[in-house]
Structure 1
Amino acid sequence: MITAVELGLIYAIMALGVYLTFRILDFPDLTVDGSFTTGAATASITIVNGVNPILATLLAFLVGSLAGVITGLLHTKGKIDGLLAGILTMIALYSINLRIMGKANVSLLGESTLVSPLRANQLLGTWASVILMFAGCLVMVALIVWFLRTNVGLAMRATGDNEEMIRSFGVSTDNQKILGLALSNGMVAFAGALIAQFQGFADVGMGIGVILIGLASVIVGQAIFGQKFIWIAALAVVFGSVVYRLVIQVALNAGLEVTDMKLISAVLVVLALILPQWKGFSKFANRIRIRGKDAPATEVKEEVGTNA
Structure 2
Amino acid sequence: MILLGTLEQGLIFSIMVLGVYISYKILDFPDLSVDGSFPLGAAVAAVCVSRGMSPVLALLLAVVAGGMAGFVTGYIHVKWNITNLLAGIIVMTGLYSVNLRVMGKSNIPLFGVDHLFNTGLPSIVVILVLLTVVKGSLDYLLKTKFGFALKALGDNETLVVSLGINEKHLKIYGLAISNALVALSGGILAQYQGFADVGMGTGTIVTGLAAIIIGETVFKTGKFMKATTVALLGTLIFKYVVAAALKMGMRASDLKLVTAVIVVGIMALKEKKKGLKRGVASNG
TM over 0.5: yes
CA distance in 2, matches of 1:230, 1:36: 31
**Do the aligned partners of residues 198 and 181 (structure 1) sit closer, same or farther apart at CA in structure 2, a change above 3 Å counting?**
same
The normalised TM-score by structure 2 is 0.91
Offset of 1:77 from its aligned partner? 0.5
The normalised TM-score by structure 1 is 0.84
**Do the aligned partners of residues 23 and 13 (structure 1) sit closer, same or farther apart at CA in structure 2, a change above 3 Å counting?**
same
Q: Which runs of 5+ in 2 are unaligned?
A: 274-284
Q: Deviations over 1:176-211 (max 9, x none)?
A: 110100000000000000000011000110001111
Offset of 1:146 from its aligned partner? 1.2
Matched, 1:168 2:170: no
CA distance in 1, matches of 2:218, 2:166: 35
Kindly provide the amino acid, as one letter, of the partner of residue 211 in structure 2.
S
SS where residue 201 of structure 2 aligns?
A: coil
* From 51, 73, 76, the counterpart of 2:75: 73
SS where residue 69 of structure 1 aligns?
A: helix
Does the Cα contact within 8 Å between 1:32 and 1:188 map onto a contact in 2?
yes
| Pairing of 1:16-27 with structure 2 (within 5 A) | 16-27=18-29
Kindly provide the amino acid, as one letter, of the partner of residue 53 in structure 1.
P
Q: Deviations over 1:59-83 (max 9, x none)?
A: 0000000000000000010110011
* 2:41 aligned partner: 39
Count of matched residue pairs: 272
Matched, 1:184 2:186: no
CA distance in 1, matches of 2:228, 2:234: 10
Q: Deviations over 1:40-66 (max 9, x none)?
A: 000001111111111001100000000
Offset of 1:269 from its aligned partner? 1.2
| Aligned-residue RMSD, C-alpha | 1.7
Kindly provide the amino acid, as one letter, of the partner of residue 186 in structure 1.
A
* 2:201 aligned partner: 207
Does the Cα contact within 8 Å between 2:142 and 2:148 map onto a contact in 1?
yes
Offset of 1:134 from its aligned partner? 3.6
Does the Cα contact within 8 Å between 2:32 and 2:89 map onto a contact in 1?
yes
Q: Deviations over 1:72-114 (max 9, x none)?
A: 0000101100110010000000000000000111110000111
Offset of 1:167 from its aligned partner? 0.4
CA distance in 2, matches of 1:59, 1:221: 30
Moved over 6 A (4+): none
Kindly provide the amino acid, as one letter, of the partner of residue 70 in structure 2.
G
Q: Deviations over 1:198-241 (max 9, x none)?
A: 11000110001111111111111111112235952110111111
Does the Cα contact within 8 Å between 2:116 and 2:126 map onto a contact in 1?
no
CA distance in 1, matches of 2:129, 2:262: 27
Q: Percent identity?
A: 43
| Pairing of 1:90-129 with structure 2 (within 5 A) | 90-117=92-119, 120=120, 123-124=122-123, 129=124
CA distance in 2, matches of 1:92, 1:229: 41
CA distance in 2, matches of 1:271, 1:135: 34
* 2:277 aligned partner: none
